[in-house]
Structure 1
Amino acid sequence: MSVHVVLHEPEIPANTGNIARTCAGTNAHLHLIHPLGFSTDDRMLKRAGCDYWPKVSVHHHDSLDELMYAYPDGEFYAIETTGAVSYTVKDFSDADQDYFFVFGKETKGLPQEVLNRFEGRCLVIPQTSHVRSLNLSNTAAVLVYEAMRQQNFVSLLEPADESAVLHQK
């Protein structure tokens, strides 16, 4: 199946563009929950995503409920600085499962009512107290690549190479 990055009401076009580039480079899906703090025609968004936009699988949703309804068997995880569980202890190795990583607004994170829905499924990337949070696009890349690493990077294989396996040393 797939790795999915979900941006809940993102505000900064450059972050979304950078995340789109990560999605293009990993075959991850990008889900944008409206309202957005910018137009998807925004030049900063296009600039950050460069010429990769046609390669990004972008899905627009009016609400998180709409997205979750469309993927009833998906495993959804909120990613937040207040998460109780490190992302490193979760098992994302089932390549037949859809994994959704839900990120909040850059300035406010996820609303409490959304976090309440993810009790026990709120993950954190450990960090020092020197910063309020890590950059959204960096955080998304960490989660996408951790899930892919656990799946032996099978999502990077071209369709003709489905039987091939990528090995790490």
Structure 2
Amino acid sequence: MTLALALYEPDIAQNAGTLARACACLGLSLHIIEPAGFPAGDAGFRRAGMDYLDRAAILRHASFARFEEWRRSEARRLVLCTTRGAVAHTAFAFAPDDVLLLGRESAGVPEAIHAAANARIRVPQVEGTRSLNVALAGAMILGEALRQTGGI
């Protein structure tokens, strides 16, 4: 099993497309938890993903409950990437079968999903800044997770 990236109800097609492209290039699956704030064939999603979307392993889950059914059947740990995370992503010990969950750009994830996560990590930032772009944060975290687990 390899790392996987999941997006919780993504708002911005271009961010999701950028992360789909990253997953295609890194050999990872991308899980989109519906409802997304854009249709599957959105032009911004396709433009950001470019011709890599045909190579991307994208799985759509109708809801978080359906995503959880899949994740639990695979016995994978859920690592929530959040500005409220207690541990820096560089100090966290990733496992090869982790699923890294990124929240919605406009609102993160609800408390119930925070509670469902096995771990909560963050990208450290300077005081007074709110958050990084989700695609940028996802790429940073994926890079560290792949470095630790011996991925690409």
Superposition map of 1:94-105 within 5 A: 94-95=95-96, 98-105=97-104
Task: Compute the displacement of 1:66 (Å).
Answer: 1.5
Which structure 1 residue ranges, 5 or more long, are not aligned?
157-169
| % same residue | 31
**Partner AA of 2:84 in structure 1:** T
Measured on the aligned residues, the alpha-carbon RMSD in Å equals 1.4
- Answering whether residue 131 of structure 2 is matched by residue 152 of structure 1, we say no
| Greater Cα radius of gyration, structure 1 or 2 | 1
Which structure 2 residue ranges, 5 or more long, are not aligned?
none
1:79 aligned partner: 81
Superposition map of 1:79-158 within 5 A: 79-92=81-94, 94-95=95-96, 98-118=97-117, 121-153=119-151, 156=152
Distance (Å, rounded) in 2 between the aligned partners of 1:105 and 1:8: 6
Summarize deviations over 1:17-37 as a string: whole Å, max 9, x none.
100111011011100000010
Q: Normalised by the size of structure 1, how large is the TM-score?
A: 0.83
Task: Compute the displacement of 1:65 (Å).
Answer: 2.4
Find runs of 4+ consecutive structure 1 residues off by over 2 angstroms.
none
Summarize deviations over 1:72-124 as a string: whole Å, max 9, x none.
210111111011111122222x44xx211111110111112211222x61111
Q: Normalised by the size of structure 2, how large is the TM-score?
A: 0.92
1:7 aligned partner: 7
